[in-house]
Each structure stands twice: as structure tokens, then as C-alpha cells.
Amino acid sequence: MPRPHVPVLAGELIEALDPQPGQVAVDCTLGGAGHARLVAERLGATGTLIAIDRDPNAEHVFAALAQEVACETRFIRADFVTGLEQLIEEGVRVDLIYMDLGMSSMQVDNRERGFAYAYDAPLDMRMDPDQELTAAEIVNTWDRRRIARALREYGEERFADRIAGEIVRRRGRQELTTTFELNEAIAAAIPAPARFAGGHPAKRTFQAIRIAVNGELQQLDDALPLSWGVAKVGGRVGALTFHSLEDRRVKRFFAEKARGCICPPDLPVCVCGNTPEAELVHRRSIVPTPGEIAANPRSKSARLRAARKLREER
């Protein structure tokens, strides 16, 4: 049975974004709608919730949500970059906007989607099943160097070269088509002492291939400035991340927006006149409590950051 959807850092997200009656909010990654439901309840009958998701299953989740909440609702089936670009083209401006990155619970728990190394399933990993690129194509057609580079950059996998080599060696005999076949290649490539330390040995490789399949980091790099552009002055932008590659990008983006003077440090007085575009809601990222991690182990790596927009970019 699929696990019930449990939104991560739900109370903390609501506190950081502070949704109010009558406001307009955008959920860039609807997923199971756990956060969206909490936000919608606070927007009230005069507010509007806009939901974006590229997964067709999210449209069914949204339809059910729309029947339950009092606010106006709208769904855009697209990746969040395309969805945000559409809102900008329409001239929409919003009071709060947030993204819950990575996989949704409904994607992980749907075994046939191939996201989880714990289930034997086709090598798929597409968040949008209509796109062409799959995990199987990466594993079976990319050359060794390209696979290794993806594992290093997207999974921070120290045995990237060995794993890529084993994948290429095995596919030379027969294509790898399932998650367990990929698991076996990974396990064979990693030295025995390392296989039993630091969690499942396939975790970093599966993360890397999933990110490559879905273009997740490029999506995030493109979406952050778009989300800032959609927000009104005084509006709030938030992001929930689940690994350091995402969190560093969000942290860097908000820090740059919150930066004031950009003069060389040896100048006695400021001559640039630059003022911050953002105010950080919290100085550090917000992490789950031990109680939340115990109740929902998937929340363990979550980090929440948010910023308030002070002015439009010059």
C-alpha cells in the first residue's frame, strides 16, 4: 500500500511564507498537495492558489483539492520553469511562491516509475512520462565518461568511475532494463567495506541519474529568477530542498538578492548605492525536528529557505 502523503516542514513553511486571506499563492511542485492544502486554507474564499506540476497524476490530486478548498484554484500542467514563464507572460504577480524540490511521495511509491532502488521496476525515473529521455537510455547509451561525470556532479559519488565502468561492461553483454539490474552493477563496483557504510550503496547513483533524466538542477537554476520575477514587492519566495546540490543553489540565490553594498572592501564609503532586493526570513536554513524525522524518515535531509522581496530589480 502507498504511504500516506506527509508534507515535510509543513508548519515551518507556513510560518515562513505567512499566507493571508485574499492573497495569491503559487505552488510550483504540487505533488501530493500537502503544502498546497495548508496554504489554501489560509488564503480563504477571497484568495487564489495556482498549482504547477509536470506529472499527470498531480492533475488528479489537484482536482480533488479544488473541491475541498474555498479559494479560487488553477492548475498548470508543466515543469515549473514553463509554468512560471507562462505566468510572467500573462502579467500575473503573486504574494507567495514556493517549490518543494526532488521527488514527490506518490512518485517514489509508484513502483513502476522506477525512482526507488528498493523496488524492482523498469529503469524510467521520468517525472513527466511524456518526455523521451529515460534512465534506461542514460544507462545504456551514454558513454562511460558521461555517466561518470553525471554520477560525480549530480550524486557526489566517489566511486563514479568504477560504477560507470561496471555499467558499461554489463550492458556490453545485455542491456540494463530494471532498477535491480542497476543495483547489482553498483554493488559490484563499490568496494565491500564502502557498500555497508553510509546508507544504501545505490542511493547516490539513483539520485544522479534521476537528476539527469529530469534536468532538475538546470530547472532550479532557471526557476529561481523566474519565481522572484513573479513575486510582488513584499511577497515571499520559499524552497524546500533535499540534497546539498539544490540547497547551495537556493542559498546562493537568496544571499545574492539580500546583498547590499558591492563596493570593494577597501573603499572608506559606499559609492555603489546598491540596496538589497531581499530580506532573508531566517538567517540559516530550517531543518526538521528529531520528532518529525522519527515520524517521517523521508524528511531527514530537508532544508527550508525563504526570502521576502524588498524591491524590483533595477
CA–CA dist 62, 84 (Å, integer): 18
Last-in-domain residue among 153, 183, 214: 214
The answer to whether the Cα torsion of 99, 105, 110, 111 is positive or negative is positive
Q: Kindly state whether residues 220 and 72 are assigned to the same domain.
A: yes
- 45-98 residue pLDDT tens: 999 999 999 999 899 999 999 999 999 999 999 999 999 999 999 999 999 999
Task: Assign residue 153 the CATH number of its domain.
Answer: 1.10.150.170
- Does a structural domain hold residue 53? yes
Last-in-domain residue among 177, 192, 214: 214
pLDDT at residue number 274: 80
- 124-167 residue pLDDT tens: 999 999 999 999 999 999 999 999 999 999 999 999 999 999 99
- Does a structural domain hold residue 68? yes
Let me know: does 311 contact 260? Beta carbons within 8 Å.
no
Phi, psi of 157 (to 5 degrees): -90, 120
CA–CA dist 104, 120 (Å, integer): 19
pLDDT at residue number 298: 85
pLDDT at residue number 1: 39
Q: Kindly state whether residues 123 and 190 are assigned to the same domain.
A: yes
Q: Kindly state whether residues 39 and 169 are assigned to the same domain.
A: no
CA–CA dist 259, 190 (Å, integer): 43
Task: Assign residue 65 the CATH number of its domain.
Answer: 3.40.50.150
Please count the structural domains in the chain.
2
Within 8 A by CB and 6+ apart from 192, the residues are none
pLDDT band (50, 70, 90) for residue 2: very low
Let me know: does 139 contact 123? Beta carbons within 8 Å.
yes
pLDDT band (50, 70, 90) for residue 228: very high
Domain span at 144: 112-214
Let me know: does 304 contact 13? Beta carbons within 8 Å.
yes
Last-in-domain residue among 214, 240, 269: 214
- 89-126 residue pLDDT tens: 999 999 999 999 977 666 666 677 888 888 899 999 99
Q: Kindly state whether residues 152 and 169 are assigned to the same domain.
A: yes
